Amino acid sequence: MREIFFNKEARAKMLEGVNDAANAIGSTLGPRGKTVIIDPGNGNPPIMSKDGVTVASLLDSKDNLKKTGIMLIRQASEASVKDCGDGTTTAAVLCQSMINAGVEAVNNGANSQEIKSGIEKAVICVVDALKAMAIPLTDNDMIKSIGTVSSNNDEEIGGKLAEAYGKIGNKGMLTIEMSKTHDTFVTIMEGAEMQRGYSNEGFVTNPAKMTVEYDNPKILVLNYEVKSLKQLEPFLKEYQMLHKLDVTPLVIIAREYEGEFHNSTLVNKKQYGAKICLIQAPNMYQREAFDDMATITGATLITDDAGMKLESANCTHLGTCKKIIVSRFNTLVVEGGGDKLEVEALKKKINAGIEFAKEDAVKEVSEKRLARLSGSIGVIYVGGNTHVEQVERLHRVDDANKAIKSAIEEGIVAGGGIALIMAKHNLNQLNLSKEEDVGVQIIYSACEDPILKMLSNAGVYKKRKTLLSKIWETFFGKNHLIINELNKCRGNKGYNVKTGEFVDMIEAKIIDPVKVVRCALQNAASVAGQVINSDVMLVEMA
């Protein structure tokens, strides 16, 4: 049965969960961030993590009122992970600040819709400032710095990531795996990427990364739309007899899938443990993608051009690879089982086509095909002295890699929370109504909270809870001397929490990807704005 909570009562219950969640996630932030110990349940050994993504994904509460607040923080954090693969902790800290300040303002009589409008306009202003500050990612030292900062200042992880990208290039593909030894090391393998992923999230095998990951799968490539189960029934019966779907993974790449076949495949995956994944070919240049993937994996392309009907597919037409990783948007094939001579022959054919191509678009597609057929994939194998340590390090390597990819896309800014401190000064240019300005002030204040959380984790700053603190905040602002000094700084000057010095953050290699900071702010504001503009909670009670 659901109970209804109104206004202040609803917000107070929800805030408990918001603050518990954000405080747990926020404790990992910065170079002095703390480790969180997590009991995964079911008799499994505890997980020890300094990774905000992991902490956020495992947060829960038996109290459904608090759970609502927890889920709001998780929503902001997980949105950042989906957008750029990092920024979970920053998003949680920002969201907590915005929700608390917004709820307090509404409780004191401010108009929630005007506040929300002010927040939205302020975020646009700060994002524009961040983009204006962006510096392109130019060298391997920057990659090492981003990797180090994003992995909680682990220089070994930063070094391994820089080593990997030095070998595969900034546009290369990199995957993270568990090492079978105590050591962390980099290897380079052959690989290919296709710009299209799984047809449904129900096929996901790794919920933390939202990916489908299979070792040594069998791969069927179909230049057809698969509409009914009957079309592939002979093939599936043969496959089940020879390989067993719950043992040997099956990946199907086709033009499109429709109702009956798609739904029955999902049921087999969810209810019966079938190791299967359906992938749709790219919307453009499908035939080229089919030819490439068939050649790379050693599959026989089932296509009407060759006089082959869909119903004629059998297990002799299957290809394979050492590993396949499928996300919502991409498919990564590692060490395809195709004949190397056939791959080289296809590359020569494409090269010959480039020489005679008259249109730039055709040349571009052909060059992308060559890159796919000639691709290499970096693999970082993460080691550790214990399984618990290894899992914790793997999560941090994965986060750092995603941060590097974001930096390649949109550039970098001063790290350590400094970019938001600098960008918030642009809010002084906004000329809005009095009540919209409340929303602007909420964003202005929130932009200080990531660095405040880092200082708190380092033992430099503790939030005051006494009457004296309220007087202090009234006359000197909510922050202490370090924040006051930072508000006077310009350029890339900031505070190094690790050394306790004011430095040029770019020169000190304390940097953040613009995309990570931007997404954290936008996602936090999106969730906070909806919360502030809500008066009623409907909660399922035990």
- Rounded CA-CA distance 80/524 in Å is 9
pLDDT digits (tens, 9 = 90+) for 506-528: 999 898 999 999 999 999 999 99
pTM: 0.69
pLDDT at position 151? 84
- Rounded CA-CA distance 314/302 in Å is 10
pLDDT at position 465? 44
- Rounded CA-CA distance 39/45 in Å is 7
pLDDT at position 472? 41
**Structure tokens given for 73:** 């923080």
Show the low-confidence residues of the chain (pLDDT under 70). Answer: 1-7, 9-10, 357-358, 461-480, 535-542
pLDDT at position 4? 63
pLDDT digits (tens, 9 = 90+) for 238-248: 999 998 888 99
Q: Which amino acid is at 18?
A: V
pLDDT at position 480? 63
Q: Are the CB atoms for 63 and 14 separated by under 8 Å?
A: no
The helix (H) or strand (E) run that includes residue 517 is: helix 514-532
pLDDT at position 81? 78
User: DSSP strand E in 362-491: where?
Assistant: 376-382, 412-414
CA atoms within 13 A on the CB side of 42: 1
